[in-house]
Structure 1
Amino acid sequence: MSSTPGFAPSVNARAAVLVDEVAKNADALRVSVTTGKDGERCIDLGAKVPGGLEAGRRLGEICMGGLGTVALTSASGLERWPLGVVVHSSNPVVACLGSQYAGWTITGDNNFFALGSGPARALSRVEELYKELGYVDHHHKAALVIEGDNAPPPGVASNVAAACGVKTSDLTVLYAPTGSLAGTVQIAARVLEVALHKAHSLHFDLNNIVDGYGVAPIAPPIPDFVKAMGRTNDAIIYGGRIQLFVRGSDDAAKDLAEKLPSNTCSIYGEPFADIFASVGGDFYKIDASLFSPALVTVSNLDTGSSFQAGRLAPDIVDASFK
């Protein structure tokens, strides 16, 4: 994949503008901006503050490093749950895998554990994934997104900043719980990202993915973490749809379309909370191929052919959301 600036802009530079806008409009967005004990800027979008749908929409765009748009829609594709998000990126590999994907394992004192997502990952490059992407970012500010109830404890932000090669004062940590309004929106906005991640796991040539679009319903927030995790996963697994625009052979495009949808997984068919309970609450025992959109269209720019597979499952979404 090319790291030429014209084709892969700095996700941290672009996200920094969006982060500053959130901070500047904190009162209107009902979020809070504080300074952490390491000197980092912390933005709470839903833990101890109300936050809202707009805060989550903006958080989704920050996760994508400013290389994607997230919009609210009343046409999710599900009759009973019309409220959703529309996600688009003309740089989907960098936006989704190079920035949005929650691939950075971050630990600290007092058993702190979080999966970091967002553009800071592209500065740290601690994940093996970046060797494959060939994407390198350089910027003096970094933004890290955490799905959780609290900002990192002392020491964690300093370690993150050091890994990113920035001053701790130039690091912003944004966080929102899974069951918050902002949290449920930013997770729905990962509908395109999970498709890119599965395409990568299927060894589809990422250089041939040109553009991408996705839609997913917004799960109603719920305080219970396991139920919130279930609903937000179900929104994508059973209610998400995407379209990828690719280059290459029709055989490769058709193969991707047929293998990408969630219904290709053997454990497909039950609400995610039930699947989670069946493995004793061990997330890593769940077949990773389940984490993909419900309905997939792959359009080949070289031939004009399009291939579709999968299906929406509104009945399972109903069971999960109610």
Structure 2
Amino acid sequence: MALNSEAYEIAERMIRGADLLHASVHVRAGVRVVDCGVQSPGGLAAGVEMALAAMAGRGRAWIEPADVPHEHWASVWPKCVWPVVAVESDQPLAACLASQYAGWKVSTKKYFAMASGPMRAAIGREELYNAIGMREQPTVAVGLLEASALPPEDVCLELAADARVDPSKLILLVARTASLAGTLQVIARSLETSLHKLHDLHFDLSRIKKGFGRAPLAPVPNDDLTAIGRTNDAILYGGHVVLEVTGDDESLLEIGPRMVSSSSPDSGVPFLELFEKAGRDFYALDPALFAPAMVDLTNITTGSRHRFGTLSPDIVTASFQPRTTDANVAREA
């Protein structure tokens, strides 16, 4: 099944269960807009569904409780006190790069959003698709918008036109970063972050056969700026990715040290501090920073396993310091 078709089934399931997800459905210029965390409260369940739709059903996402950590996570961060957002995919290029990556920017005079999901494959204008293929000409499309407001009619119509689908066949899932669903679906991008890093490093992506990712679930503040800082810190300093790859070990040993966030001279500084210093411009930041803290490369050809990077619990802990205004993640099921 095509990326957008599979994501569309997930999105329609979300629409049918909107009440249970604490979400709401709006129709704007014929486009169905699912509010998962802008005006509606949303929740963790909505965030998991958003992550599944973002990966076009080509991966899994779930939450692991802090008091019963997965044995693998317990071995790398035994005293982590936060729940963990876990993802895996045995189709990682399709799930993460062709679909989940937030590679499309929506920007008008009155509206801004970072767009992700398989709608990007329908739009197909990113250079990334020249490398990985997977462009689509679907009859339906699904996009995720990380935004502080729901999209107006003109934006909905423009996205439908860009994706070359009838407006009635486009579903947009929207959440602000400072929401439970928004925070979760961003932190569910640990695996995607590692794959995009490998793409930037010109690694042969066909060698990647399977991937797993984990990162701590940040407490949700009231403002998006703080949430952006925390979600990035969760991956840059608390994210652990395991990739199953084929081929020789020499190339893995060469590229591994460049796959982790510590390869950047800016590493070790909380993301929000770096973001403010860069004038709140993502593109002014060192691209090498955008990577998981730790990566394991398991070579299924040779049986070797190589680990690069290290977690920085102190930075994550400082970033996640509880505030009285933070949403109580522990009470939200």
**TM-score interval (norm. to shorter):** over 0.9
User: Matched residue of 1:223: which SS?
Assistant: coil
For residues 98-136 of structure 1, the C-alpha deviation after alignment (integer angstroms, 9 at most, x for no partner) is 00011112233x332222100101111011111111213
Aligned partners of 1:151 and 1:173 also within 8 Å = no
2:114–2:147: 8 Å Cα contact kept in structure 1?
A: no
The separation in 1 between residues aligned to 2:258 and 2:313, in whole angstroms, is: 21
1:106 maps onto 2:106 in alignment: yes
Offset at residue 206 of structure 1 (A): 0.8
Percent identity between the aligned chains? 41
The 8 Å contact of residues 45 and 175 in structure 1, kept in 2 or not, is answered as yes
2-side partners of 1:161 and 1:225: how far apart? 27
Q: CA deviation at 1:248?
A: 1.5
**Is it true that 1:30 corresponds to 2:22 in the alignment?**
yes
CA distance in 2, matches of 1:119, 1:92: 13
The Cα of 1:255 is off from its aligned counterpart by: 2.2
8 Å Cα contact 1:73-1:84 kept in structure 2: yes
Is residue 119–residue 142 contact of structure 1 (8 Å, CA) maintained in 2?
yes
Measured after TM superposition, the shift of residue 149 of structure 1 is 2.0
Other-structure match for 1:3: none
In the alignment, structure 1 residue 44 sits paired with structure 2 residue 35: yes
Shift of 1:23: 0.6
Displacement of 1:152 in angstroms is 1.6
User: 1:92 — aligned with what?
Assistant: 92
Equivalent residues in 2 for 1:243-262 (5 A)? Answer: 243-262=242-261
Structure 2 matches for 1:279-290, cutoff 5 A?
A: 279-290=278-289
Alignment correspondent of 2:211: 212
Distance in 2 separating the partners of 1:106 and 1:283: 15
RMSD, aligned α-carbons:
1.3
Shift of 1:285: 1.3
User: Per-residue displacement from partner, 1:35-63 (whole Å, max 9, x unpaired)?
Assistant: 01x11000000111111111101101111
How do 1:296-307 and structure 2 match up within 5 A? 296-307=295-306
CA offsets, 1:122-174, max 9 Å, x none?
11101111111121324211011010122222222112112212100110111
Question: Which amino acid is the alignment partner of residue 245 of structure 2?
Answer: V
Moved over 4 A (4+): none
Would you say 1:70 and 2:61 are equivalent positions? yes
Instruction: Supply the distance in 1 between the matched residues of 2:137 and 2:281 (Cα, whole angstroms).
Output: 36
Is 1:152 aligned to 2:151, yes or no?
yes
| 2:4 and 2:119 in contact (8 A); partners too | yes
Cα distance, 1:315 vs. partner? Answer: 0.4
Correspondence for 1:139:
138
- Return 219-228 or 275-284, whichever deviates more: 275-284
Counterpart-to-counterpart distance in 2, 1:89 and 1:264: 25
Gaps of 5+ in 2: 322-333
2:153 aligns to what SS in structure 1?
A: coil
Residues 38 and 150 in structure 2, CA contact (< 8 A), matched pair in contact too? no
Judge which range, 51-60 or 77-86, deviates more: 77-86
Alignment coverage as a number of residue pairs: 312
Shift of 1:264: 1.0
1:10/1:138 contact within 8 Å kept = no
SS in structure 1 at match of 2:268: coil
Per the alignment, residue 7 of structure 2 pairs with: 15
Show the counterpart of 1:4.
Answer: none
- The CA deviation at 1:183 is 0.6
What is the one-letter code of the residue matched to 1:25? G
* Counterpart mapping for 1:167-316 below 5 A: 167-316=166-315
Distance in 2, Cα, partners of 1:33 & 1:84: 28
Q: Aligned partners of 1:142, 1:174: CA distance in 2, in Å?
A: 11
Residue 298 of structure 1 aligns to a residue whose secondary structure is strand
Letter aligned with residue 32 of structure 1: S
